[in-house]
Chains A and B, each alone.
Chain A
Amino acid sequence: MSDHDRKEDEVRRMLDAPPRGQVPPDLLPRVLDRGTRALRRARVLRRLLWVLLTAAAIAFTVWASAAEPWRPPPAGVTPPFQGW
């Protein structure tokens, strides 16, 4: 186990060995720009979904009140003709 830990420590040193790269000075504005755009995109998408949901609900209500699908359909056959 300690041998395993020693090997892992060696690799840890390996990973820390390369010199640190400089963080680019324009990182923050680029990040803020990206994050703001992602937020705006999510907001537009959410709004679009709400509009779609509302439109579907209205359409269904209008269709249901016009077609009244809960009424029994009219009989498909003519009642027997009597009293000739």
Chain B
Amino acid sequence: MREQRRHRATARLPGARERDFEAYVAGAAGRLLHAATLLTTEHPGRAPRAQALLTAALGATYARWGRLRGEDPYDLTRRELATRFARAAWRFHRPRGGVLSPLTPPERLVVVLRLYEGVAEEQAAALLGLPVERVRATCTRSVAVLRRTPVARDAARATGKAGAP
């Protein structure tokens, strides 16, 4: 009974833990959502699958928020996102028009981890349970495929020009 009352109190008045987590989500959600949208190859404006992936990964992070012990929460959420995407890869097999549409789900995962998130080859290999050589080969092959795809290449050229001062 007392425990229940305490729960209700914390729900009404967020403690330091909730406030910390809220600040973390406010800072990291945009970047993580972009990564998830790249993985699901959805349109950025309407990405329910990417949002569901992100919600699940952040929920798992919140469940461990009190027991992080110095671990980087962003790294944890990224790992959750990657493993959840890998486990449900068959649901994301159909391309939906995003930049990474020409790639298979495992290839998308390698490209997003290595090139968008900048995760080291060894860490990406450990996370995906693959040998380092395989990650390197997949990355090289995916880069070649993407550079051959006209739509994505034109988009990159356009932003490259626009981004140049």
Q: Which residues of A pack against B, CB within 8 Å?
A: 4, 7-8, 10-24, 27-28, 30-39, 42
Interface residues of B, dominant DSSP: helix
CB-based nearest B residue for A41: B63
B98 at the interface (CB under 8 A from A): yes
Contact assessment for A42 and B55 in the assembled complex, using a CB-CB cutoff below 8 Å: no
Residues of chain A within 8 A (CB-CB) of B142 are: 11
Count contacts between A and B, CB distance < 8 Å.
109
B54 at the interface (CB under 8 A from A): yes
Contact assessment for A17 and B45 in the assembled complex, using a CB-CB cutoff below 8 Å: no
Interface residues of A, dominant DSSP: helix
Q: How far is the CA of A64 from the CA of B120 in the complex (A)?
A: 57
Contact assessment for A15 and B116 in the assembled complex, using a CB-CB cutoff below 8 Å: yes
Residues of chain B within 8 A (CB-CB) of A4 are: 140
Which of B21, B139, B159 is in CB contact (< 8 Å) with A17? B159
